[in-house]
Amino acid sequence: MATTAAADAATPKSPATPAAPASSLTDKEREAIAQMPYEEARDKLIQAVQALEAGGLNLDQSMRQWEIGEALAKRAQSLLGEVRAKLDAAQAEQATSADTAGTQSNLD
């Protein structure tokens, strides 16, 4: 037994890492959020924030509203990023065609 105790004492132990909290959102809810148009995601995000700001929620309800809000914010941000990329591409295309706008080479 003394050998085992000595071996255990010599073996470095890694610190306990807390388990990641389980999400309260179902796959169905996540999929619904992933399919939402921007306006719906924005409106539901506003509702989630208002619920948190109003208070009166227990810890589980608050965490659920927080998770919903995070998922909705990511969806809205993703959609805005897609629109920004399209606008940037359109501006870049317009800038390259502006050099030839109104010239004979534009008609060829």
pTM check: above 0.75 = no
Quote the pLDDT of residue 21: 59
| Domain parsing of the chain, residue ranges | 27-97
Number of H helices, E strands in the chain: 5, 0
53-104 per-position pLDDT tens digit: 999 999 999 999 999 999 999 999 999 999 999 999 999 888 888 766 666 6
Average pLDDT over residues 35-62: 96
Those residues whose C-beta lies under 8 Å from the C-beta of residue 67, and which sit 6 or more positions away, are 23, 24, 25
Those residues whose C-beta lies under 8 Å from the C-beta of residue 71, and which sit 6 or more positions away, are 25, 29, 30, 33
Amino acid at 36: M
